[in-house]
Amino acid sequence: MKLNYIILIALFFARLNSAQAQQNKLNTNKDSLNYVLENYYKLNLKVFQQNSTLEDIDNIFEFFTDDFTYVHSKYGGVYTREDLYNGYKRNQSKGGYDGSVIDIKIENIMYGLNAITVSKRFITKEDGKDVIGETQMALFEFKDGKIFMIKEYW
């Protein structure tokens, strides 16, 4: 009887430790996805400035998988990693990044399995005033700790 009691206690603590390990894994995964997402937006904000460089663009693309895809139905559909990179370079060379975007405000984040959905707003400077843009939604999917796909829904 005493032996059965000891076995039950041991099983209880083993399950408790297993549950805690699983929770720690989830927190670590969530933290790593957050790290990538925060850096993605931080680096984009840097690229949007007038003095941004090609190196700034390259830094963003370090967070993408080699088979990364960008999907934005309203603005042309599906873009490969190379398509998006060339678009960033083209916008930069034509002066499209003029510093008018001064911040990106994340309003809501929803987590899924290797995915994050974000509700965000661009904050711009117009006629000397800060203007908060419309709410925009984006879905980020991750693979091997990097962004595998971004789908924009705005």
- CATH number at 73 reads 3.10.450.50
Please give the tally of structural domains in the chain.
1
pLDDT digits (tens, 9 = 90+) for 29-82: 788 999 999 999 999 999 999 999 999 999 999 999 999 999 998 988 999 999
Tell me the residue range of the domain where 59 lies.
2-152
Name the pTM for this structure.
0.80
The tokens describing 135, both together, are: 């709410």
Strand blocks (E) in the chain: 64-72, 77-80, 101-112, 115-126, 129-132, 136-143, 146-152
Strands 129-132, 101-112: parallel, antiparallel or unpaired by DSSP? unpaired
